Structure 1
Amino acid sequence: MRILRTDESRFRDLPDFPYPAHFTDVGTDSSLRLHYVDHGPAQAAPVVMLHGEHGWSYLYRHMMPLVADAGLRALAPDLIGFGKSDKPDSQQDYSFEKHLDWLEQWLLSLDLHDVTLVCQNRSSLLALALVMRQPDRFSRIIAANAVIPWAHEDDAPVSGLWQMFARYSPWFPVPQLIQLGTTRPLAKSELAAYDAPFPDDRYKAGARSFAGALRQHPRDLNRQRLWNFLESWQKPFITCFSDSDTGTRGAHRPLQRRIPGALGQPHTTLSGGHFLQEDASDSFARVIVDACRPTLAA
């Protein structure tokens, strides 16, 4: 496995991103560095904010101060292949199971407990698989524009077309893909920040392979088993969806209907596109803080 590491100079002077870098070694031979932001009181209850496709921890830059100011510990990891994390340069080096193993190693290395999980879109599959592996470490789940397919739902033609584009297209413009998912125009400096992890196309193997990786079934997980787990989840499960994202419209209904922990929760619809972190950062942060009130009061 050949590993690429984006030079730190690419991340200098990013707008609204003053956070020092933290790294954890993951992988079978500890040769991979996973980057994460750790902002807020070290002993406070942790809020793990997981980015989705195309993004990295920069996505949560406006939310982390609000969460930390409320007395919580905001943690935003970069998946391997994204952000400041290391980037194997072959698409064959990535799979759902590897992403899940790397993320679990990070969680265990920090020995996190009483975690509030914030997850996004189809990467929620990865996040919820992590909860299924380590359920005792999580106190609540906040799912933003989360799509949890049934067993064969991801075989739809549009999913296959997107996977083919991401894997083979000579043009894979990450900043423009982020902009397509927002309702507010991003500044040139913000677009540059989303491009910072990728000096050239060699660094995009993780981003290009992600859609395909999410369709794979690791040895200890299939979609039916995940739904069986969710249908027994009794802890709080809160949906936070946007009003202008046609791709995830209606996906909150089965989550609210089938997950016991969703009953009676303050489910929310916010104004914005796919990336609520960009379009409604203050409101989204309030959803997190309000959900954590019982923890803060303890």
Structure 2
Amino acid sequence: MNYSFVSISKTPQYISLFRCLFGICFLGSLLVACDSDDSEDVSGTEIPLVTGPNSDACKLSESEIHATATGLEYIVTPDACFDSLSGYEFEPSYVEIDGLNMHYVDVGPDNGEVILLLHGQPSWSYLYRKMIPILADAGYRVIAPDHIGMGRSDKPIDVTVHQYEQHVAWNKAFINKLQLTDINLFVQDWGSLIGLRIAGDMPHVIARLVVANGDLPLIPVGQNPYIYPTFEIDESLGDAATFFASKEPDGVEGFQQWIDYAAGVPELIAGDVLQVVTRVELSSDEVAAYNAPYPAFEYKAAIRAFPAMSAGIEMENFSAWKTLGAFHNPFMFNAGAYDIKLGSLEVQKKWVEHVPGSDGNDHKRFIAGHFIQDDVGEELAIHFLDFLRNTTVEEPLQAGGPLFNFRYCEILLSYLDGAEESTEIWGTPGVNFCPQNLWDAINFSDIEIEYGVLFAIPNGPRFFVVDEILGGDIVSPSPDDEHRFFGDLEMRLLTTMNYSSDLGESVSYIPGQVLRNNTWLFYEGRRVYELTDMNGQVYIMQSFSRIEVSDLQFDDLKDLGSRLNLPEGWTFRSRILSEPLEISAIDGIAEVVQDDLGNSYQLVP
């Protein structure tokens, strides 16, 4: 995994608004507020206009309110607002999503490989003006949409329409409507919250994935620290520069201030926000261009509401996060070194270590801030082109099911009962995700003494290779489950297994029996990993382990055979399923085997 670092001699000119929670950075949008709206009724035909930087350019007199077939009211920024924008001479294209026109730039050859650029808040596709020509001239079809409510897209009036899941759905619909496949996806800020979720949910349409200052939030249920605002106007709130200079440095408190500021400031000028957060000095024409979509405060519901979307996010992104942990196609994380949260080395390393497709790529740190596209747009585009030209796309990845790449740990407690050795299997599924620090702190010798067992065997961390469990739910605890703490790590009793007395302790490639009534389900298109014994019996991997290889990842499994010390007559192979595969226990008993690296397999009946 390669990093290119830059030296930093200046202190940041701003304080970013995000905080890493539970090892996964809870992003928000680094920008600030939006113009205001006190949630008054705007269902009439007249909308009061605010004199602002765009008033002369747009020559507005009165805005018309439209409604979709479902009654959603929206307004449209007049085309005149987008005349003669500095550095942005792209013809508009539109696609209808839920009765709303979603705008996008579409340049370059129609048959070129697709590059999809997702922006954040309060920017719009104008943010990519420096990158688009370079990418298009290189032969790529470059598509840069405006989120609903931003840029040239239609703008719902109701701030509550703008919810995280809604914008994820709108962007998925955009991809489907344009029938985009083999996408080279580039995401930043809120574009990363939305884009990384889409990449995890729809990995089969993603060829390559690039993050530039971004993250994907995961927050345990009931522990979201943010409060949804009232959207009432607060006349005491000042301009963007004053807000950033006075905001609390603490991540959570500071971001809550940003949520409230965006919802309540009487006058938000998007261009002023970009000017504060960007290291380069934007020209007055560039500031005016960022303001162009928002000639009055009624046009700003989206940029006012986007920060508040953070208050509604918990574990919705968990499946996407797990799937991206198996994403084997090319991945790159670029960072603005002055973005001290979303561009931090901590966040960059987390993603480089999580995504298998990051190996060997140049994860660069630019002398740039949060809006890296403004600060180093041309340099970033050239670096992106090098990545595209020097990486190879493999087979598409199918989105994972509830168990796919699910991390857990187990402890096997072995007892001698007469001539039989029985083993209790205690595990973290349904309790926690086996934090590494708690797992490392366990003293297994102490556990053997405490419970009077023959052996206390660590079995983890482990990651499920299966997609679903049918006829059972191994990750959801029951009120009747027995729980124990091993050190500070809580586990529950999962099942028991038995070995014949002449086998003693579990041995690699020696089958054992596990009490289990469930069926494992692997999705069509999933790559599976098989052991075949000397008698031709096939065992399919149900979970892989980091017991012996601490950095083993999903993408390493297809070449696992070269690492195994297989018994004579045994073979290993991987293959892609052409149809779903179910593997069931027989009469409540599953026959399982482990290889010499601790990966577990179940016999195919």
- TM category (shorter chain) comes to over 0.9
Taking CA–CA contacts closer than 8 Å with sequence separation of 6 or more, which of the two structures ends up with the larger relative contact order?
Answer: 1
Check whether the contact 1:15–1:189 (CA below 8 A) recurs between aligned residues.
yes
- Give the Cα separation in 1 of the matches to 2:349 and 2:363: 11
Equivalent residue pairs, number = 293
- Give the Cα separation in 2 of the matches to 1:241 and 1:154: 26
Check whether the contact 1:45–1:295 (CA below 8 A) recurs between aligned residues.
no
Deviation string, structure 1 residues 81-109 (Cα, Å, up to 9, x no partner) = 10000000111111112111111111111
- Give the Cα separation in 2 of the matches to 1:295 and 1:261: 10
Match of 1:166 in 2: 262
1:19 and 2:87 aligned: no
Q: Which amino acid aligns with 1:25?
A: E
Tell me by how many angstroms 1:126 deviates. Answer: 0.6
Match of 2:521 in 1: none
Q: Which amino acid aligns with 1:16?
A: G
Three-state SS of the structure 2 residue aligned to 1:267 is: strand
Matching of residues 94-243 of structure 1 within 5 Å: 94-151=162-219, 155=225, 156-217=252-313, 222-243=316-337
Deviation string, structure 1 residues 231-253 (Cα, Å, up to 9, x no partner) = 12111110110122223223212
- Give the Cα separation in 1 of the matches to 2:92 and 2:389: 28
1:70 and 2:141 aligned: no
Match of 1:53 in 2: 121
- Give the Cα separation in 1 of the matches to 2:272 and 2:355: 35
Match of 2:371 in 1: 275
Deviation string, structure 1 residues 138-160 (Cα, Å, up to 9, x no partner) = 11111001133342596322222
Deviation string, structure 1 residues 47-87 (Cα, Å, up to 9, x no partner) = 00001111101111111010011111111000001000000
Check whether the contact 1:115–1:139 (CA below 8 A) recurs between aligned residues.
yes
From the two aligned structures, give the one with the greater helix fraction. 1
Tell me by how many angstroms 1:217 deviates. Answer: 3.8
Matching of residues 276-295 of structure 1 within 5 Å: 276-293=372-389
From the two aligned structures, give the one with the greater strand fraction. 2
Which structure has the larger Rg over C-alpha atoms?
2
Q: CA RMSD in A?
A: 2.0
Check whether the contact 2:118–2:195 (CA below 8 A) recurs between aligned residues.
yes
Match of 2:586 in 1: none
Tell me by how many angstroms 1:171 deviates. Answer: 2.7
Tell me by how many angstroms 1:4 deviates. Answer: 0.7
Aligned residue among 340, 354, 358 for 1:262: 358
- Give the Cα separation in 1 of the matches to 2:195 and 2:303: 17
- Give the Cα separation in 1 of the matches to 2:316 and 2:302: 22
Q: Which amino acid aligns with 2:156?
A: P
Match of 2:349 in 1: 253
Q: Which amino acid aligns with 1:5?
A: V
Aligned residue among 62, 66, 81 for 1:10: 81
Deviation string, structure 1 residues 240-274 (Cα, Å, up to 9, x no partner) = 10122223223212111122122222111111111
Three-state SS of the structure 2 residue aligned to 1:247 is: coil
Check whether the contact 2:197–2:321 (CA below 8 A) recurs between aligned residues.
no
- Give the Cα separation in 2 of the matches to 1:141 and 1:135: 10
Check whether the contact 2:201–2:320 (CA below 8 A) recurs between aligned residues.
no
- Give the Cα separation in 1 of the matches to 2:390 and 2:199: 20
Check whether the contact 1:151–1:223 (CA below 8 A) recurs between aligned residues.
no
- Give the Cα separation in 1 of the matches to 2:310 and 2:79: 29
- Give the Cα separation in 2 of the matches to 1:265 and 1:162: 35
Check whether the contact 1:34–1:78 (CA below 8 A) recurs between aligned residues.
yes
- Give the Cα separation in 1 of the matches to 2:302 and 2:190: 15
Three-state SS of the structure 2 residue aligned to 1:199 is: coil
Segments of structure 2 that go 5 or more residues without pairing to the other structure are: 1-71, 226-251, 394-605
Most deviating of 117-126 and 194-203: 117-126
| TM-score (norm. length: structure 1) | 0.93
Check whether the contact 1:123–1:214 (CA below 8 A) recurs between aligned residues.
no
Check whether the contact 2:118–2:187 (CA below 8 A) recurs between aligned residues.
yes
Check whether the contact 1:11–1:196 (CA below 8 A) recurs between aligned residues.
yes
Check whether the contact 2:197–2:216 (CA below 8 A) recurs between aligned residues.
no
Q: Which amino acid aligns with 2:186?
A: V
Query: Aligned residues: percent identity?
Result: 30
Segments of structure 1 that go 5 or more residues without pairing to the other structure are: none
Q: 1:44 to 1:214 in 2, by over 3 A?
A: farther
Check whether the contact 2:209–2:331 (CA below 8 A) recurs between aligned residues.
yes
Q: 1:51 to 1:9 in 2, by over 3 A?
A: same
1:32 and 2:88 aligned: no
- Give the Cα separation in 2 of the matches to 1:50 and 1:32: 18
Tell me by how many angstroms 1:207 deviates. Answer: 0.6
Tell me by how many angstroms 1:122 deviates. Answer: 3.8
Three-state SS of the structure 1 residue aligned to 2:186 is: strand
Q: 1:246 to 1:151 in 2, by over 3 A?
A: same
Check whether the contact 1:166–1:208 (CA below 8 A) recurs between aligned residues.
yes
Check whether the contact 2:148–2:155 (CA below 8 A) recurs between aligned residues.
yes
Tell me by how many angstroms 1:294 deviates. Answer: 5.1
Most deviating of 285-294 and 112-121: 285-294
